[in-house]
Structure 1
Amino acid sequence: MIDLRLLREDPDRVRASQRARGEDVALVDALLSADERRRSSGVRFDELRAEQKSLGKLIPKAAGDEKAELLKRASQLAADVKAADAERDAADSETQSLLLQLGNLVHPDVPVGGEEDFATLEEHGTIRDFDAEGFAPKDHLELGQLLGAIDVERGAKVSGSRFYFLTGVGALLELALVNAAIAQATAAGFTPMLTPALVRPQAMGGTGFLGQASQDVYHLDKDDLYLVGTSEVALAGYHMDEILDADRLPLRYAGFSPCFRREAGSHGKDTRGIFRVHQFDKVEMFSYVLPEDSQAEHQRLLDWEKQWLTSLELPFRVIDVASGDLGSSASRKFDCEAWIPTQGKYRELTSTSDCTEFQARRLSIRVREDKKVRPLATLNGTLCAVPRTIVAILENHQQADGSVRVPEVLRPYLGGREVLEPVSQ
């Protein structure tokens, strides 16, 4: 959530952020009104309680008509205090409810608009010319079937659409990717973490996934637990309700977990293969830093993502995600999109978001510095979303006979194997 003091001092900035997100600007004025009622009712309650305490000291000393009058006033005050308390609680509840609906403040450099209004920042690698090489590229599913690596038919039989099996070299390729990604993260100073896939509402809501993203979340009603769509949720919740010493920062974690997404609203999109699925594994970077260091940390996370994709020898671009596509927690987001030959376009493989103090305020994570306590900043960055990375590797490194060249960075994790060979025709 944002700082209420900032809202009071600069409401136009918050309105501009809401407008850039394409969200309801009227929410800002409703929140200002509720906050004013909360503060004024709090003052009223404090005044009545002070009078009540003063009166309580006078009554024992009074007698006769004076005491009767004081007792009458005390009775009225008790009713007024109770009413003021209820009014204060109602106004506070409304303020908090409205505050939780407000997205993070959009960074001023973010391009304004919807999904297609991003700005391209960089392009890396060379897109292969398959025509010049004399063969038409196969898509990842055809390659996966030739290699005995992907089985979506039995995935659908067992679990339904958008589920799959990784088999043989497909399973080995996932394990190689995860181990290589964790090795890079560990070398960069991240603490590797295996995180829970089920979390409580406080963790899911605190990271901002129960607002506009709630339609994509799986919920276990009986247990009131949520299946995470990213280990970001568990990594953010790891320090909730804690005060961290400034000399411990930055704290960097690399979490590995299964991820679950309903993919609501994606009907008809990416129905072939394993690019958009309901369950997948992912290595996620997560950082806790001082607020003034968040932009520099954001760039570092992006650099680690670029290092990873470069090591996989993939052509990719970096985009500055537009304001209407940020998600509620992010102030700014960079995506790395790999070229997918059979689709003839770039598709998102990694993403990194600067959430500034937004999640920390919701989760009550603070930093102690020079005897002062204040919220810190959190950031996240995907290092390896496994199925999408497999898609990009198979399609970009395929050869005319249906085999796939293994990027050098993965070979030590595949027993030195340089090529994945077809097992069936």
Structure 2
Amino acid sequence: MVPVMALADRAGLGALVAEHVRVPGSAGANGPGKVAAVVAGMVAGADSFEDLAVLRHGGMGRLLAAAPAPTTLGTHLRAYTFGHVRQLDAVASRLLAALAARTPVLAGVGQVAWIDVDDTIKAMHGYQQQGVAYGYSGVKGLNAQLAVLSTPMDAPLIAGVRLRKGNVASAHGAPKLIGDAVATARRCGAVGLLTVRADSAYYQRAVVAAARAAGARFSITARVNPQITKAIASIAEHAWTAIRYPNAVFDEQAGGWVCDASIAEVAFTAFTSRPAAEHVTARLIVRRVKRLNPRTSAGQGELFQTYRYHAIFTDSPEPMLDAEAHHRDHAIVEQVIADLKAGPLAHLPSGTFTANAAWTTLATIAFNLTRATAAIAGTTMARATTATIRRRLIHIAARVASTARRLHLHLPAAWPWAPAFTTVFEATCRPPRAASP
């Protein structure tokens, strides 16, 4: 915990909270300390208010002095309104930019970067919980929408998050989230090609317009409709380019393992039911996979008797094969969602919606902070899951001793990842080097 929170302090977490978050009343007193305490508890593995007591366990009270009680932290978050949650979003954005400047967590962001937008249902149980409803998956809960920033060289980070009602449509509020996420990415140094990727739930004119207005490209899975079907049918047989996947993937709808496919592209104008000024013309990149189970084609028309088609609507300037391969990497957002649900979002701890929204934003801060710590540790940790990082760099038993009014941590002599921890500790806890004259 010591090097992680030292990194948070150097990145300005406390100063950012003091500058941007204004929670009134006694619940808002010492806001920077309370926010830092919640983030520290999440980094340590807390997924509920009660779990935040880890900050007062054993010798933690000597390292993190005056850690508030879990009930105090819960009272603080329940005092948040929607405006305070948006203030916390501003803190998360600026902290990510500070981490990108101080650590190699986004070393490749200056060349090519992607923002992946997706949402997930977080199951909730019990009664009298604000915003809880049955969503598109049939699960009762709340809906979290994420924007994930990644590069070819770096593990993904969370550039934005919104907690919403459980029965909200997937793309609701996505244009605003995209605009904020692109601004955050630019603040982190994404000056090169930046592409917004999303699945077919986000195939909407407003989403495309938001990406373009923010100065980013878009790559969105297209819904199959009569216009898409007509465009696919117009592709000549000789225009298809055969590709082979490095590893076979299982396609349930195709009926088996798939390792071969063909790709073609055609110019396409989308959203033609809207006024002409709102039409969008770009590339339609189509991947087709031969059906292994002909019975799955029943009712889909003659075009789909032999092949299954996947269409991507994009204005990416990349070559066709690269654009299609990079769009499939959109699945990286699912790994981030799984990582969050295995950590701070295993539970949403309150019946108050805004408290859960603030908890979700703080969970993204803890996620990015943990990733930045792993990036400092070196390449062996850079792409590890949060649970692995926590096990190797954070959950380390130590004996706290005092000498000459200074604290000393006696760490295990045979800890397998001692070199990585030492690297992080020296980078975050030693005084900054004086600037050369």
Give TM-score, length-normalised by structure 1: 0.22
Q: Which has the larger radius of gyration?
A: 1
